[in-house]
A = this chain, B = another copy of it.
Amino acid sequence: MPHQLVSGQSGGTRMTSAATVALPPAITRLAALAPLDAEDMAALQAATAAGIRRIPARREVLGEGHPVPQAQIVLSGWACRVQMLSDGRRQIVSLMLPGDLIGMCRQRDPLASSSVLALTDVVTCLAPEPRQGQHGTGLAEAYAVSGALDELYLLRHITRLGRLSAYERTADLLLEIHERLTLAGIASGNMFPMPLTQEMLADTLGLTSVHVNRTLQTMRRDGSVSLRAGTAVLSDPAHLANMVDRRPPRVTSR
């Protein structure tokens, strides 16, 4: 069943074509957020052709406090927004997966309020400017929906950190990642790539890596999750989701 994200709209044809032909994840995702016409697709293709940027793992994509350049699209790899405390504590504030937008966060022009870090090797391209007018407006809508989703994830992250136990937090985050990767067409059913180290997970979940390790072991033991060698499998996402009170994201009313 395709992700019923945009309500009142089947999305069937788009998802089907994405599942059949292996489109780039970023395009799959944006096309799932809003209907893209030929012109939109062309703009995306052109953006890729115009030049991609490779950022090696552990390198900063955007420094904190530096002016935000034009928005970028993550083509592959995982990045994150991170805040550091002077004593070395670190909090990953949001994850950026293929198809996500970097630097368009919300309002234009604010300085980055956190630095953006590549968690794996990352490839990006500049996000094509959406057009005004009859054609090519799908992109603008996709960007808007993407932004709304970003906020949704941010809010859920807060609730996760504030009110869920270590086990619940971990389950909830894995569910979110699964959800998002599915949207981008990465993920085969309940299996998906999960390149984060336990320390990165810890910095996301507000835990120590030791405790993340123990929590994952518990999950493996009770059979809800298997996570090894960069690949995760959720044995029963719906059940897990129910357990942590996670509802499918709904963003637009049309």
Contact residues of A with B, CB < 8 Å? Answer: 65, 67, 81, 83, 85-87, 89-91, 93, 105-111, 113-114, 144-145, 147-148, 151-152, 154-159, 161-163, 203-206, 245, 249-254
Contact = CB atoms under 8 A, between A and B. Distances in A.
A245 B67 contact: no
A159 B83 contact: yes
Contacts of A206: 161-163
Given A67-B253, A107-B145, A145-B107, A93 B158 contact: yes
A33 to B, nearest CB: 11
Given A161-B161, A163-B85, A107 B144 contact: yes
12 contacts: A89-B163, A93-B155, A93-B159, A106-B106, A107-B144, A107-B148, A108-B144, A110-B152, A113-B249, A114-B155, A158-B161, A161-B161
A42 B111 CA distance: 30
A253 B109 contact: yes
- Say how many copies of this protein the assembly contains: 2
Residue among A145, A155, A245 with max Cβ neighbours from chain B (10 Å)? A155
Contact of A148 (B106, B205, B253): B106
The 3 lowest CB-CB distance pairs between A and B, nearest first, are A162-B206, A161-B161, A110-B148
A156 B85 CA distance: 11
A251 B154 contact: no
A147 B106 contact: yes
